[in-house]
Amino acid sequence: MQAVRQILSDVRERGDEALLELTAKFDGVDLESIRVSPDVIQGALDSLPPEVRQAMETARDRIADHHRAQLTPPVQHSSDGISISSSRRPVDRVGCYVPGGRAEYPSTVLMTAVPALVAGVSEVALCVPPDRTTGSVPVSTLAAAALAGVTEVYSVGGAQAIGALAFGTHSVAPVDVICGPGNKYVAIAKQEVAGKVGIAAAFAGPSEVVVIADATTDPRLAAVDVILQAEHGPDGLAWLITWDEAFADAVVAEITTMVEASPRSEDIAATFAEGGYVALVDSPEAALAVSDLIAPEHLELMCKGAEQMAQVVRNAGAIFVGQWSPASIGDYVAGPSHVLPTHGSARFASALTVDDFLKHHHIIEVSPSSYIQGVAENAAVLADTEGLAAHAESIRLRQRILQQGENRNGESK
């Protein structure tokens, strides 16, 4: 936290100069400008292999369809002379953070920018750390930005990117809401600027998965799903919970074989070293109790009775039911955003949705009948109770005017 606060302070005070220095320090890349040219973004899309572009377009469209369904009609209600309706307005500008360094994440571009644009946001800025080898934002990430409709892209990552989006610099206009996952520095930076800007969803930090499984599931499937979130790298969680000791041994054996063969074995091992667990419990009920305590980002139910278990889960970012529902489908094409609460924040928070980019306004209209019927007098009584005389008088003055039939000048009609 101390390191993050120092970075944020530096960005607020020195702007672009700090961003360029911090990018050289942390990413090993010397840049002249952090803004990625629109021509470079379009060129990335044009160079995309056809099958990759088709996959991205399919994912984009499924994400958009899911989030459009969340745009429910405004609520309207009227009783006792008081009419209430709701109005939803999108924020003007959103900043999406997409991780880099260890891997390319074009899927995260789609999972953050598309919901914002479906909500009606007019400007979406994207921050991505530059690749250490090429010195630029990965082509697949830029192509996803073009397909999603991102307004602008900046080659900057880490806590410094969050500072740029929150405070603004010469190059980066400040935003109203920041969304997207990241490492612990990024997640802490978002907590630090919360209040200056809106922070969408919850603590979207390093990846987590809890797999609850039994012998009705192929141990290879349970093993690969424990591994799949762990390959994002350190500081995450990867749990297997079961009530079958022989099954646990079989899954661990498969995990060992798969990790040895994985091209990302170092990242997986780093996650397992601090956050890898096998929990042997007494029953499915006990497994759910452990999972609810963890409140994981991803929960996979790969056991008998998974459908029923899913209905009683209290704390999880996303729940995947059955051995044919890996979290990887949710990461790419299911439709809901894969930006999910981590670090136990699923106890009180949810996945990224269109609501993270919408402001809800109440529109209240009070008719004269509410004063005659006495509903308004209740408000005056409560104002009296709180000792707020002007509040009460604003109501009773209207009551007297209506009762006396006075016009606006106090004269009798």
Contact 211, 300 (CB under 8 A): yes
Residues 403, 53: Cα–Cα separation, whole Å: 70
CA atoms 20, 25, 30, 35: torsion sign = negative
- Yes or no: say if 4 and 140 are a contact pair by the CB < 8 Å rule: no
Residues in contact with 216: Cβ distance below 8 Å, sequence separation at least 6, in sequence order = 303, 304, 323
Radius of gyration of the chain (CA): 26
Catalytic (active site) residue 66: no
* Distance, CA of 198 to CA of 192 (rounded, Å): 11
DSSP codes, 81-106: TEEEEEEEEE-SEEEEE---SSS--H
**Out of 104, 231, 254, 297, which one is annotated catalytic?**
297
Edge-first strand order for the sheet with 298-302 is: 276-280, 237-242, 208-213, 298-302, 318-321
Of residues 298, 300, 338, 343, which has the active-site annotation?
298
Contact by Cβ (8 Å): 212, 287: yes
Measured between alpha carbons, how far is 274 from 334 in angstroms, rounded to an integer?
30
Backbone phi, then psi, for 199, in 5-degree steps? Answer: -110, 115
Catalytic residues: 297-298
